[in-house]
Amino acid sequence: MSAETYVALTPESLPARLGGLAALREKVGPPESWQVREVGDGNLNLVFIVTGAAGHAVVKQALPYVRLVGESWPLPLKRSFFEYNALIRQEARDPGSVPAVWHFDEVQAIVVMEYLTPHVILRQALIAGRQVEGLGRRLGEFCARTLFRGSDLSMPAAERKADLALFAGNVELCDITENLVFSDPYFAAPMNRHTPGLDGIVARLRSDLSLKVAAQHLKMAFTSRAETMLHGDLHTGSIMVTDTETRVIDPEFATYGPMGFDVGMLIANFLMAHFSQPGHETAPGERAGQQDWLLSVVETIWRTFVAEFSHLWRTERRGILYQASLYEDQGHGLAAEQALADLIGRIWVDMLGFCGVEMHRRILGLAHNADFERIADEGRRAACEARALAMGRQLMLGAGAIRGIGAVTAMARRMDKEDHL
Ligand code: SR1
Ligand code: MG
């Protein structure tokens, strides 16, 4: 394939263009045997599944624009470079957590990787009422390992500073997050949309001055606190599962940012899945068990995150921050424990705030969640979404006073019974 000019692939052109690629021939077989399907259902990219005599592969190619909106919104191809670099770092920091990468072509903005089968996108599984064994534990571990090991708590300083510079180039995808997550939901931005029955609560939220201030404090944390390499878009559409296995995909929004961001986004998406469940019921109470399970996943994610992060703190703290030479080596192990507790406390408060904004932007902004969108009856959808909006506000404004993940799930249970329209 010519490495000179970018050309978008099609299922028809792919075998001729990538047939010479050793990685693909080895994994999939000779190109004459290939069958190609385009299956991308995300907001940005082309995703092809290539099936051949010897196996399967995924070929993901960035488009020079936002797929969700069209060519009127150009988006640089280099996001593929950030995705590739994030994937190989996540694999090193939490082996087995992401698809294996087999090839990267920067000019064509292509990442060739392992086809996960029989995995499905977690969000679809949750909408269908499916459960996944070990999900919360695996996601909590992923967050702890990637966030700890991508930071100054762990990395050699020169390597970490080089990565900070590298991911600082992901300007346009950060710009999407900065606008779509932290600003647009809080005023009538041009691309926003919401379910018609929500007009009242939307007007109240947009005239809530404290909420606008809280959102911008969170935005400032996102833009200025380069604590660790984030996945950057860790929602249930960025996770693939079987009944027993969990993998994380799509880190093209990777950037350096605050430790609480990924965990907050992730937990927000489980809380939204929880609030959406009544909208998928064919009989009242049919999804009660699924709702309980979703909240148990929320608790497990946070508790596992804390346990694994604490374990890494005690066993792998080799970076320039909170050095053992300052604490343990001076006989001040207790100070290290105090610092750990303080840090987890700060991540907790950040996490709750980011969780709240994510719940708002998925209901008020451009990019909505299928969890709610699939509820055909607009009245039922609005009732579910209103509860999530109310909880998002509570998390953003009350973060400092919420004591423990059990208080968060209790709040979700209570609000699920309330009318917030
Ligand atoms: C224009 S992109 C909209 C959203 O899709 C991605 O998955 C990110 O969540 C982004 O905010
Ligand atoms: Mg994505």
**What is the tens place of the pLDDT at every residue in 193-251?**
999 999 999 999 999 999 999 999 999 999 999 999 999 999 999 999 999 999 999 99
The H or E element spanning position 38 is strand 35-38
In the prediction, which pLDDT does 64 show? Answer: 96
Q: Is residue 36 scored above 50 in pLDDT?
A: yes
The residue type found at 388 is A
Name the band, by pLDDT with cuts 50, 70 and 90, for residue 43: confident
Question: Which is the closest atom of ligand 1 to the Cα of 75?
Answer: 1
Kindly identify the ligand whose nearest atom is closest to the C-alpha of 181.
1
Where does the pLDDT of residue 41 fall: very low under 50, low under 70, confident under 90, or very high at 90 and above? confident
Q: Which distant-in-sequence residues (6+ apart) come within 8 Å of 207 by Cβ?
A: none
pLDDT value of residue 3: 55
Residue 305 has pLDDT above 50, yes or no: yes
Q: Which atom of ligand 1 is nearest to the CA of 235?
A: 9
Residue 199: CB partners within 8 Å, gap ≥ 6?
none
- Ligand found nearest the CA of 233: 1
Taking the centre of ligand 2 as the mean of its atom positions, its distance from the CA of residue 250, in whole angstroms, is 5
The helix (run of H) or strand (run of E) holding residue 409 is helix 405-416
Place of tokens 């939490």: 94
| pLDDT confidence of residue 2 | 46
Ligand closest to CA 45? 2
- For residue 351, report the distance from its CA to the centre of ligand 1, in Å: 19
Quick check: 146 and 326 in contact, CB under 8 A?
no
Contact 313, 340 (CB under 8 A): yes
pTM of the model: 0.97
Ligand 1 atom nearest to 177, measured from its CA = 11
Tell me which ligand sits closest to the C-alpha of residue 251.
Answer: 2
DSSP string, 306-371: HHHHHHHHHHH--SSSS-TTTTGGGT-HHHHHHHHHHHHHHHHHHHHHHHHHHHHHHHHSSS--HH
Its sign, for the CA torsion 183, 185, 187, 191, is positive
From 175, 180, 183, 361, mutation site for ligand 1 pocket: most ligand atoms within 8 A of C-beta: 180
pLDDT number for residue 22:
96
Phi, psi at 245, each rounded to 5°: -130, 145
Shortest-distance atom of ligand 1 to CA 237: 7
88-117: average pLDDT: 98
DSSP letter, residue 116 = P
* Bond prior to 30 in cis (omega within 30° of 0): no
Q: Whose CA is nearest to atom 8 of ligand 1?
A: 233
Q: Kind and range of the H or E element at 139? A: helix 135-149
- 344 CA from centroid of ligand 2 (Å): 27
**Ligand 1 atom closest to Cα of 250?**
7
Q: Which atom of ligand 1 is nearest to the CA of 42?
A: 7
Question: Which ligand approaches the C-alpha of residue 79 most closely?
Answer: 2
97, pLDDT greater than 60: yes
Mean pLDDT of 178-182: 98
CA nearest to 275, candidates 162, 153, 380: 380
Identity of the residue numbered 297 = V
Q: Which tokens sit at 132?
A: 């996944």
What's the rounded Cα separation, in Å, for the pair 318 and 322? Answer: 9
- Mean pLDDT computed over 380-401: 98
Q: Is the pLDDT of residue 173 over 70?
A: yes
- 1 has pLDDT over 90: no
Mean pLDDT of the chain: 97
Taking only the tens place, the pLDDT of each residue in 61-89 is: 999 999 989 999 999 999 999 999 999 99
Under DSSP, the state recorded for 169 is T
Expressed in angstroms and rounded, the spacing between residue 46 Cα and the centre of ligand 2 is 11
Instruction: Quickly state the pLDDT bin for 42 (edges 50, 70, 90).
Output: confident
206 CA → ligand 1 middle, Å: 21
* Residue 94 CA to ligand 1 centre (angstroms): 24
Give the closest residue (by CA) to ligand 1 atom 2. Answer: 43
Helix (H) or strand (E) holding 175, with range, is helix 171-180
Burial of 30-52, coded b for 16+ CB within 10 Å and e otherwise, reads: ebeebebeeeeebebbbbbbbbb
pLDDT of 4 reads: 79
Residue nearest to atom 9 of ligand 1 (CA): 233
- Output the ligand 1 site: residues, CB below 6 A: 42-44, 66, 68, 176-177, 180, 233, 367
362 has pLDDT over 60: yes
* Collapsed DSSP state (helix, strand, coil) of residue 302: helix
Q: What is the mean pLDDT of residues 241-269?
A: 98
Q: Which of 205, 167, 210, 170 is nearest to 187 (CA)?
A: 205
Ligand 1 pocket test: which of 233, 249, 354, 360 has the largest number of ligand atoms within 8 Å of its C-beta? 233
Candidate from 41, 43, 368 with most ligand 1 atoms within 8 A of CB, to mutate: 43
233 Cα to the center of ligand 2, angstroms = 6
Torsion of CA 183, 66, 354, 420, to 10 degrees: 70
Average of pLDDT values for 245-274?
98
